Structures are given as structure tokens and as C-alpha cells.
Amino acid sequence: MMNEQLTKICTNFVSELNEAIGNQSGDSIFILVDNNTEKYCLPTLMKSEKLIGSNIITITCGDENKNVESAVKIWKYLSENGATRKSLLINVGGGMITDIGGFTASTFKRGLRYINVSTTLLGAVDAATGGKTGINFLGLKNEIGVFSPANEVLINIDFFKTLDHKNLLSGFAEMIKHALIDTREEWQKILQFDLEKIDLEELRPLLTKSFRIKERIVAQDPHEANIRKALNLGHTFGHAFESYSYKTKKPVLHGYAVMWGMLCELYLSHIKLNFPKDDLLKLKYLTKEHYGSFIFDCNDYEPLFELMTHDKKNDSKEINFTLLSDIGKIEINQTAGKNEIFECFDWFTSQL
């Protein structure tokens, strides 16, 4: 049984951080940051008297640094600075930090308590909640990891003010996914939200609803044996696009890759399960207007397909997908052959 994870949007961040820390002494607290969150977010945390004497671990930002070398650096720091099973790790950052921080906390001395302070919209709705932790390995996303939820997840919307528009859009892509797997009502709210000028206060209720959708699904299926696979919508194609972007030295943001992946997988849903064409086109127009396209051609089909064969969701030689027969009608464990996947590539490159 996984411990219950509590996610909250803070109204008074420092006092709610103090409450989450509890009686932990400062010298037994370790704070993981990257060079961005160290500059922009750590000063806010250090307003807490409970963090006097705490230990700061800094790693280089960027998903390409979510690797074994960075994990070893964190473990080494914890070991050399007296961390025990009773220590606390506070991960301050986006998905890269909460993924690697959760993984290193969960494996050091077989596990110590950790809190995620999510500083990006993407991290708030995706990586920080749900208990998936991990690092990239051999060019594959999150290839090594464990299920181990944070004791608490704190979201300070003020930190989102440091994000540029592209990073806000990247996070919003995961919110679009949650709406698609939830209800037509949520899908309509998402479509009506103004993405040209993102108002963080107007975003707040949508954000709360978004991670409640995820938490509800995770509670039913913590270890992704069944319905939690719904959260993988867009990620089979999306992770291939993302991994390939790093291989070709043209990195794209995770949310953008997921957005393009959702478009491919809703097209696959349309041809296999008769997903409504009208909703497919709505997603296409939204993608075209705000996210642009992932540029590739037929020479890239084989390496993209090869990346998809390594996806963790595959149970056999076939590639596994989560598809939709309608908004909110989730069809897990769907498979597609190479010809169908190449048809999706053809459609995608012709539409965007």
C-alpha cells in the first residue's frame, strides 16, 4: 500500500511548508535544487526558520541531467553529510527535480521522507504527484525508477511567474490530457481557456481540478496495473518525439512532445475506435495555433518507431497505447502495428 499523497495549492506558502516539515531539525533536512530554482525559488523557502542549518544540494538544470551521474552526486552528498533514514529531502523544482529527487530519496538507505515543492506548471500537474520517480538511462525516458509518492506536494503559484510562456504551455498540455480522459465538461473548460495570455488566478481552479483527476486515478491503481494507464494518453508517441529530439540535438519541452503525441494517439483512436472527428480536429487546431509542430519526415519514421518499442508500457513485442473511444471513455491496453503507426506519422506531418 502506498502512503496517501497530499497535494495542495498554498495560500501561505512558508507556514504550509513549516507544517509539512513538522518537528524535523534543520541539520537533518536536505534541499535539492537546480541552478534555476536555487536562484529564483530557494530564497522564498529560506524564509522558514525551520530550514536554518539545512543542507543544499544543487544539480544542473535540464532533463538531459536527469541521469545516473546526477543521482550518484545526490546520494554521495547525502552519505557524506550524515543523512539517515530519519532525514528529510525537499525537492524544489519542476519534473526533472521531483523525478530524480523522489528516486534518490526512495532508494537512499531504502527510503527517506521527502516533500515535493513544485515550481513549474508541468511539474504540478504531472511529475510531482502520483508517486512515479525515476531517471533517464541509455537515451530512454524514465527507464530506471520506483513507485514512491512524496509525503506531501506543495504548489506555490507565485513560482510560476518565473516561467516563460512556452513553459506554461508545456504544463497546460498535461491539463488538456486530464480533461480528455475525464469529462466533456472539463474538455470544454480547457478549450475555452485563454492560452494567449495565461492568467494564473484564472488557471487556479482548472489546475486544482486537473491534479484531483490524476489523484483519483492514482488512488485506484497506484502501480499502473490497470486504469492508471489512462494517464499515459499521448505519452507513447510523445516520449518517442521527446527522446528523438534529444538524440538529434534539437530538444523539445515535455509538454509539447505530449501534445503532439496526444494528437497522434487521438488520430489512432479515430481510425481504430471511431473517436469523434470533431474533437480530433479541435485538438488539431489548438495544437497548430499554440504548439506548432514537431518537424520530421519519412526518414525519421524507423528511429521513432524503434524508440516506441522500448516504451515501458509494452507487455510484448506489440506497442501498447491508451486510446479513447470518446471524451472520458478510456480504452487501455490497445495495440497498433507498424503500418498503423506510420499512418499516424503520415497524418501528423500532413496536418501541422
Per-residue model confidence (pLDDT) at position 2? 44
% of the chain with per-residue pLDDT over 90? 86
Q: What would be the CATH architecture of the domain defined by 6-162?
A: 3-Layer(aba) Sandwich (3.40)
Average pLDDT for 147-158:
94
Report pLDDT digits (tens) over 67-97: 999 999 999 999 999 999 999 999 999 999 9
Whether residue 180 has pLDDT greater than 70: yes
Q: Which fold has domain 165-351?
A: Dehydroquinate synthase-like, alpha domain (1.20.1090)
Cα angle 114, 49, 115; round to 5: 10
* Residue 320 pLDDT level (bands cut at 50, 70, 90): very high
Strand partners, 152: 6, 115
CA–CA distance, 228 with 215 (Å, rounded to integer): 10
Considering the chain, what percentage of its residues have pLDDT values greater than 70?
97
pLDDT of 326 > 80? The answer is: yes
Long-range contacts of 38-47 (CB under 8 A, 24+ apart): 40/119, 40/159, 40/162, 41/92, 41/93, 41/117, 41/119, 41/159, 41/162, 42/92, 44/13, 44/14, 44/156, 44/158, 44/159, 45/14, 45/17, 45/90, 45/92, 45/117, 47/14
Determine the Cα–Cα distance for residues 190 and 205; give it in Å rounded to an integer: 11
Per-residue pLDDT tens for 200-219? Answer: 999 999 999 998 999 899 99
Reply yes or no on whether the pLDDT at 127 is more than 50.
yes
Provide mean pLDDT across the span 260-266. Answer: 98
C-alpha span between 332 and 227 (Å, rounded): 7
Given pLDDT bands bounded at 50, 70 and 90, which one contains residue 5? low
CA-CA distance, 276 to 282, in Å (whole number)?
10
For residue 26, is pLDDT > 60?
A: yes
Residue 40 burial class via C-beta count within 10 angstroms: exposed 0-12, middle 13-18, buried 19 and up: middle
What is the pLDDT at residue 265? 98
- The predicted structure's pLDDT at residue 81: 97
**pLDDT for residue 285:** 97
Mean pLDDT of 47-52: 97
Answer yes or no: is pLDDT of 312 > 90: no
Predicted pLDDT of residue 173: 98
Tens of pLDDT, residue by residue over 238-261, are 999 999 998 999 999 999 999 999
Residues of the chain with CATH 3.40.50.1970: 6-162
On the question of pLDDT at 3 being above 50, the answer is no
The segment(s) of the chain belonging to CATH 1.20.1090.10 are: 165-351
* Closest by Cα among 235, 100, 247 to 173: 235
Most confident of 108-117, 127-136, 308-317: 108-117
pLDDT of residue 8: 87
Q: What burial class does residue 315 get, using C-beta atoms within 10 Å of its C-beta: 0-12 exposed, 13-18 middle, 19+ buried?
A: exposed
pLDDT given for residue 315 in this prediction = 67
User: In this predicted structure, what is the pLDDT of residue 1?
Assistant: 36
Q: What are the Cα distances from residue 171, in Å, to 221, 299, 300?
A: 23, 30, 27
